[in-house]
Structure 1
Amino acid sequence: MEGKMPKEKLTKEQIRKEVISWIAVMALGLGLGFLVNKFVFFTISSPTASMEDTFLIDEKVVILRTAYLFSKPQRGDIVVFPFPDDESMDYIKRIIGLPNETIEGKNGVVYINGEPLEEDYFKEPPEGDFGPYEIPEGHYFMMGDNRNISEDARDWDNKFVAEDKIKGKAIFKYPDFKWFSKVEY
């Protein structure tokens, strides 16, 4: 039996070092995961149909916490923020009105400073009127994409979201794989 190397026995010290190295790798991975979740990304799901067809109910949305470190929120961005009337709940909506603008809705059309806003993300044509509202400096006016059922800034007591309350910007979505866990054998 040529070419076979004899198996060497691991010492207790070698086993201990190997176990410690695996524990260190796992701890580092968990620590990095915690830091990324705390300071870079987090996920949220849309519990209602207010953002359909952009997000379906229970689809997971990845939010980038650092999106506005070097830039300001823009019209059309989908963001997460504490609900202005009850900050214990997070909402996900689209930015429609920017600071120092006048926003108004007439017959389902949004007007910014008297000019109609072109929007192409509706589930169905919007209805109704609102405003006009003057958006304060450093604040934003949020609306859902499924306008006819969305409870958004048009309905809130506190109509505007302060820029420093925005927790992050939606960057992509993925389905909730509940069906995967319900596989029967």
Structure 2
Amino acid sequence: MIEGVENENSKRFSWKNEIKEFISAAIWAVILAFIIKTFIFQLTVVPSGSMIPTILPNDRVVVLKFWYKINPLERGQIVVFDPPIDSSYPFIKRVIGLPGDTVEIKNNSVYINGKPLKETYLPKYTKTVPHEKGTLFKVPKDSIFVMGDNRQGSYDSRDWGFVPLKNIKGRAVLTYWPLNRVKVLR
């Protein structure tokens, strides 16, 4: 072929290559999206008010799925999990008790292993009261104890018990919608 001159064969050849490249890029994009959504993070809408004032109903949050697998869970982290009760959607709550902890609710406060829990993420005069299951909880070695920040309006471990570690989907790290509520979750 003479340089600068195109013929019908070179057009067809180029067109076929473009289609092959597009299909290849689309396949790789789908594979990458699947890997990211399955193993790295997910975007979740919070349907309830159990985490008010930290997270409001219909806020959207980024959940890092791998976080708790490479870093140990810590008290105060916000996690998304499949609840140990019948539910059609995952729950979002704050980690209060870790495996082996004794959680006690008394004097409108939470005590961990006999010491008051400093909950700087709650409004100053928040009162924590016991619910259905009582005031003293011994967290099993394969579970955590969780509560919502909206202590008067949260259906949580005080009602239905512990969350098995295997039920944890990931750690909520950021609200991204609505835009006026974008923030890192602590």
TM bucket by the smaller chain?
A: 0.7 to 0.9
Please name the residue that 2:175 is paired with.
173
The structure with the greater share of residues assigned to helix is 2
Q: Which of the residues 162, 166, 173 maps onto 1:160?
A: 162
Please name the residue that 2:136 is paired with.
132
Letter in 2 for 1:25: A
Give CA-to-partner distance per residue, 1:35-61, whole Å, 9 cap, x none: 110111111111011111211211111
Task: Provide the rounded CA distance (Å) in 2 between the counterparts of 1:71 and 1:41.
Answer: 15
The reply on whether 1:118 has 2:118 as its aligned counterpart is yes
Structure 1 unmatched ranges of 5 or more: 1-5, 178-185
The reply on whether 1:99 has 2:84 as its aligned counterpart is no
Please name the residue that 1:147 is paired with.
151
> For residues 78 and 127 of structure 1, do their structure 2 counterparts lie closer, same or farther at Cα, with a shift above 3 Å needed?
closer
Preserved CA contact (<8 Å) 1:41 1:65? yes
After superposition, where does 1:2-151 map in structure 2 within 5 Å? 8=6, 11-86=11-86, 88-123=88-123, 125-129=126-130, 130-151=134-155
Give CA-to-partner distance per residue, 1:49-94, whole Å, 9 cap, x none: 1111211211111111111223321111111111111264311111
Moved more, 139-148 or 65-74: 65-74
Structure 2 unmatched ranges of 5 or more: 180-186
Preserved CA contact (<8 Å) 1:97 1:112? yes
Aligned residues: 171
Task: Provide the rounded CA distance (Å) in 1 between the counterparts of 2:88 and 2:59.
Answer: 21
Among all aligned residue pairs of Structure 1 and Structure 2, give the percentage whose two residues are the same amino acid.
38
Preserved CA contact (<8 Å) 1:46 1:60? yes
TM-score (norm 1): 0.84
Preserved CA contact (<8 Å) 2:79 2:170? yes
Task: Provide the rounded CA distance (Å) in 2 between the counterparts of 1:63 and 1:127.
Answer: 26
TM-score (norm 2): 0.83
Task: Provide the rounded CA distance (Å) in 2 between the counterparts of 1:100 and 1:127.
Answer: 21
Please name the residue that 2:183 is paired with.
none
Structure 1 residue 122: Cα displacement: 2.0
Task: Provide the rounded CA distance (Å) in 1 between the counterparts of 2:142 and 2:42.
Answer: 24
> For residues 127 and 64 of structure 1, do their structure 2 counterparts lie closer, same or farther at Cα, with a shift above 3 Å needed?
closer
| Aligned-pair Cα RMSD in Å | 2.1
Preserved CA contact (<8 Å) 1:122 1:147? no
